[in-house]
Amino acid sequence: MKPIKKIGIITGGGDCSGLNAVISAVTKTAIRKYGVEVVGYLRGYFGLYHNNFVNLDMDKVSGIMHEGGTILRASNKDNLFNYRLEHEDGSVTYEDVSDIAIENMKKEGVDALIVIGGDGTLTSARDFQRKGIPVVGVPKTIDNDLPSTDVTFGYNSALTSIVDSLDKIHTTAFSHDRVMIIEVMGRHTGWLALEGGFAGSADVILIPEIPYDLNKVVEKVKQRDAEGKYFTIIVVSEGAKEKGGDVHVRQIVEDSADTMRLGGVGKQLANKLEKLIPNHEVRNTNLAYTQRGGITSQFDRLLAQRFGTMAIDLLMQGGAGKMVRYIGRDVTHVDLEEVVGSGEVGETSKGGAKYVDKNGQIVESAKAIGICFGD
């Protein structure tokens, strides 16, 4: 592999707290430790395709570590191996434009990439590595569902937002004897609802891994009434569903890597519960994007910076084709092919997400203190 003199950083997929801390750590380590230049591509792979970037230096990344979001912005619609092109006649085609991105890199003298994102973004990172571009991946998702790593940055900050919201909603629920439903993110996995709800004193937690029986939820509300606790807090993942039912689809976005947008299950649940417990007012709150933003937690700041320094060390020391990860209390690395699968171009491994174990220790501990999962 030829010497690396300039690297590019990409932030793809949804935003989350901790992205700026990674950007800061990568840039500072690259400049201070290795004396290489750094550029940041704007709006993920979109910037790589359009050759739209900014030069990153010590001043540019100063004071950004605690800020949520990403100074490079992000996009979850730009798979350069299956890119949506609109033509003058109004037709739309999907084409592999990755070679254009590679030519842009060569033109600017960018020798390698550090790609920060989830499974879709990292699948493209793997595919660029296969085409000869040295790449190191950094895992990112607030859902905490990526395999091969115990945790991803952004997750802890999202949990902090959820618990803070539950603490506030708790006092309102108590004051008005209400059933309060709080919908949180989690398309396919229930980590946010499980750990956020557990720490935030939820009475009912509904997650995708455990299809729920609505009657069990009603029983829990009535049980609390009988105990003189005339309010109930219910935390529900956006991907939760009733037994024999399906997820609640909010929107279909055709040009996105993940076309199905979930959301609205909390409102749906509220409408059903109001008919079954007429003696209670039922209110729904969807935390939505408040979970992604805000000040980055201490844990996520530290983890993101450790990821960033490890990523640049790997890249500069011949470790391209890897993804950094957090195992135990150590930051290590794993082959990208192992994380997203070794399938065809653009193909992410199926069934590789990290799901909540419905018989695991956390769920059993929650049930031991009386939390209902509707099963």
Looking at the chain, the number of H-run helices and the number of E-run strands are 11, 15
Cβ atoms of 86 and 107 within 8 Å: the answer is no
For residues 172 and 214, what is the distance between their CA atoms, to the nearest angstrom? 24
Write down the residue that tokens 């590595």 correspond to.
129
For residues 215 and 209, what is the distance between their CA atoms, to the nearest angstrom? 18
Cβ atoms of 204 and 372 within 8 Å: the answer is yes
Catalytic positions are 143
Question: For the CA atoms of the chain, what is the radius of gyration?
Answer: 22
HSE, CB side, 13 Å, CA atoms: give it for residue 263: 11
Beta bridge partner(s), residue 179: 232, 282
For residues 337 and 137, what is the distance between their CA atoms, to the nearest angstrom? 11
Give the C-alpha distances (Å, rounded to integers) separating 321 from 135, 187, 303, 305, 324.
5, 28, 21, 20, 10
DSSP structure class, residue 142? T
